[in-house]
Amino acid sequence: MRREPLSDDWLRPAVMGIVNVTPDSFSDGGRYASASDAAATARRMLEDGAAIVDVGGESTRPGAADVSQDEELRRILPVLELLEGCPVSIDTSRAGVARRALALGATMVNDVTALRREPELAEVVAEAGARLCLMHMQGEPRTMQEAPHYGDVVSEVASFLEERLAVALAAGVAEERICLDPGFGFGKTADHNLELVRGLDRIVAIGRPVLVGLSRKWTLARVVEGPEARLGTDAASVGAAVAAFDRGASLFRVHDVRSHVEALAVAAAVERGTVTP
pLDDT at 210: 97
* pLDDT tens for each residue of 34-70: 899 999 999 999 999 999 999 999 987 776 678 899 9
Q: Are residues 177 and 129 in contact, defined by beta-carbon separation less than 8 angstroms? A: yes
Query: In the chain, what percentage of residues exceed pLDDT 70?
Result: 91
* pLDDT tens for each residue of 72-117: 999 999 999 999 999 999 999 999 999 999 999 999 999 999 999 9
CA–CA separation, 64 vs 15, rounded Å?
Answer: 26
Q: Where are the domains of the chain?
A: 14-272
User: What's the CA angle centered on 155, arms 149 and 156, to 5 degrees?
Assistant: 45
Catalytic site residues? 217, 253
Write the DSSP symbol of residue 151: S
The predicted model scores a pTM of 0.92
pLDDT at 29: 47
> Which residues make beta-bridge pairs with 91?
56, 110
H/E stretch holding 145: none
Write the DSSP symbol of residue 205: T
pLDDT at 8: 64
CA–CA separation, 148 vs 192, rounded Å?
Answer: 9
pLDDT at 143: 66
User: What's the CA angle centered on 255, arms 1 and 239, to 5 degrees?
Assistant: 85
3-state secondary structure of 252: strand
Which is it for the CA torsion 110, 116, 117, 122, positive or negative? Answer: positive
- Under the banding of pLDDT at 50, 70 and 90, the label for residue 256 is very high
Evaluate whether the domain defined by 14-272 bears CATH number 3.20.20.20.
yes
**At residue 2, does pLDDT exceed 70?**
no
pLDDT average, residue stretch 126-136: 97
Among 21-25, 54-58, 227-231, which is the least confidently predicted range? 21-25
